[in-house]
Each structure stands twice: as C-alpha cells, then as structure tokens.
Amino acid sequence: MDDADLRELFRLMLVTRRLDEEAIALQRQGVLPAYAPARGQEAAQVGSAAALEKSRDFAFPTYRELGAAIGLGVDPVAYMAMHLNIWHGGLYDPNVARLAPPNAVVGGPVLHAVGWAMGAKLDGTGGAALTYFGDGASSQGDVHEAMNFAAVYRLPVVFFCQNNGWAISLPTADQVAGGSVAARAAGYGIEGHQVDGNDVTAVFEATRAALERGRAGDGPTVIEAMTYRLGPHSTSDDPSRYRSPEEESLRAERDPIDVAATSLSAQEISDAEEHAAAVVRRTTEGLLAMQRPPSDELFSFVYREPTAALLDQHRAWKESQDA
C-alpha cells in the first residue's frame, strides 16, 4: 500500500465518521427512527471492504456496516434510506455495489455469504465472499453451521468478525469462550487470524490475503479484527450503564481515525475533512428530500406472482383505507 492508498482509505474512513455523527444527530432530531453507530470501527470496515475486487467478489453486511458501504462506493443517500425507513435494505443496487442489503438478523449474513460462495465455486467465476459479524453473533449456531459447511466444501469466503469488545452490554470475556473467535477456525481446519482492527492498513492486508486464498481454492478464512465500539450499541442504548468512562477514555487512545492520521500531513487531513463535510451536506439534503413510497408497495414485492392470500390481504387493506 502506498501513500495514495492510505490517503484514500483515510478519506473514506473520515466520510464514514462524519456521516455516522450526522446520522446520530438526525435520529435525535426525529428524522431517523433508529440508528446503530459505527464509531470506532471505521478502519475494520473500510479496510476490509477496500480489499474486495468489485468485478467478482461480494460482501454481506450486518446493520452496522456504514464503513463497508462507503468503502465500496455506495451512494450514502441510497444506503441511509434504510435508516430513514424509506425502503428495507436501502435503495442501491446490490449487484452493482457488490454489497448485499444490510441484514438485521444476528449471524444471518454469514449464512448468505456461504451460500453465495458455494454458487461462485460451482459456476467458476473465481470470486470470493466477505461476510461481517460481531463477537456476540459468533455465539449463534448459524455461524458454526456456516463455518463448518464452508470448511467442508473449501469455499471462497472470509468470515470477518469485528470484535468491538461488547455484545450489546455483555463484555467479550463473558461472551466468547476461550477469548478468541479467530482461534475457533482451527476446529474447522481453516485459517484464522487476529488483526489490529484499528489499523486500516493491517486490516486491508489481512483481508486481501484471505480473499486471495479463497479465490485460489485454498478455502475459507476467519479474521478477527480487534477493535472497540466507541459509541452506544444503538441510539436506544446507554453504554454508561455497563462500562466506565475510564475504559472508554483508554480505548479512545486507539481511535482508528487518529491512528491513520499520524501518517498524513495537516493539509491532507484538512482536505479530507472538507470532502467529508460536502458528502454529509449532500447526504442530509438528499435524505430530507426523499418522499415515502406508496403505502400499497407493502404488497408489491412479496412474491414474483402474488398468491391468492396476498391478493385478499391487499384488497382488505384497500377497503380499510377507503373506510
């Protein structure tokens, strides 16, 4: 990675941070119903997403991967429409973005990624899947099944765990037996690595190597990015109820934005701030200008061919609206 690469990754991280701050402000103003902050996880998300080859790879996010969306070039307005509750999963085209719709099911995107990786292996496209999940989600049976299946069939998938220290209010020490998600990979006979999740360069290099192994037919990899959620789990959460100010202050010393900024000049940082501010303004204006879709679209995309029961429900709904 050269200096230009680092500048670009820092720019994407800063856009993510400023959009994240704006999203919280919009939620507090009542514009967004709810939001899951990503502050502190920008390096893990941007660095991993940047390692993908958009011509053939695909990423499967949770509900907290704003940085991955920005790293893959998704229009922020289209992505944030999900949080505005305009459209479930955002208004961007997943096939173009190479980013699946955000998944709010804990551990859910891991299964989807493995299914996609099986398809990629069968059709010989040479692509690899990257799936996100947290340390809390690593306790889900879905994650075990996905890793075991991927290992048995040597699928091209990277299991990217963002260990942010907390499964909502439960610390990792009480959530992950053995203390390491990456160490579990050995039980499946696959690669497993811990990486500094606050160092965007380290994340990028580790993810790129894992994706290359997958594309080469060497099977899946588990990457555990050790990071920290600097904010609340969601805008309805109060982290002061379960962690101390001293802990938060100590962990803020490894803020991924500050870590990356140490390699940049003051002018480069200023330029990145100016760019991020412009993106935030444009995104906020776009979100506020959005119109809600027609209410009966609720029935439009359930099945390719609507069933008799769905048509009856639609008819009953229309009658209730006209009453």
Tell me the catalytic residues: 229, 233, 242
DSSP 2: -
The token pair at 116 is 């996609």
What is the CB-side half-sphere exposure of residue 72 using CA atoms within 13 A? 31
What is the predicted pLDDT for the residue at 166?
A: 92
Contact 283, 80 (CB under 8 A): yes
Between helices 3-28 and 76-84, what is the axis angle to 10°?
Answer: 30
* pLDDT at residue 88 in the model: 73
54-92: pLDDT as tens digits: 999 999 999 999 999 999 999 999 999 988 877 777 889
Domains and CATH numbers, the chain: 3-292 (3.40.50.970), 295-323 (no CATH)
pLDDT score of 188: 96
Residue 159 three-state SS? strand
H or E segment and range at residue 143 = helix 141-152
- Stated as kind and residue range, the H or E segment containing 3 is helix 3-28
Q: Which strands form 157-163's sheet, in the order they lie side by side?
A: 58-60, 129-134, 157-163, 221-226, 191-196
In terms of Cα–Cα distance, which of 84, 119, 113, 83 is closest to 100?
Answer: 113
Hey, what are 21's tokens?
């701050």
What is the pLDDT at residue 3?
A: 86
- Name the token pair of 27: 């939620």
The whole-angstrom separation of Cα 135 and Cα 181 is: 7
Q: From residue 122, how far is each of 111, 125, 156, 306, 311 by CA, in Å?
A: 17, 8, 11, 31, 37
Contact present, 248 and 240 (Cβ < 8 Å): no
How do strand 170-171 and strand 166-167 relate by DSSP bridges? Answer: antiparallel
Q: CA-CA distance, 138 to 143, in Å (whole number)?
A: 6
DSSP codes, 212-246: HHHHTT---EEEEEE----S-SSTT--GGGTS-HH
Between the two ends of the chain, the Cα-to-Cα distance in Å is 64
Gyration radius from the chain CA atoms:
20
pLDDT in tens, 106-144: 999 999 999 999 999 999 889 999 999 999 999 999 999
Block mean pLDDT (10 aa), the chain, length 323: 91 98 96 94 98 97 96 96 82 95 93 97 94 95 96 98 94 90 96 97 98 97 97 94 95 96 96 98 95 83 91 93 80
Kindly list the distances between the CA atom of residue 55 and the CA atoms of 1, 94, 128, 201, 209, in Å, as whole numbers in the listed order: 20, 13, 11, 22, 17
For residues 221 and 193, is the Cβ–Cβ distance under 8 A? yes
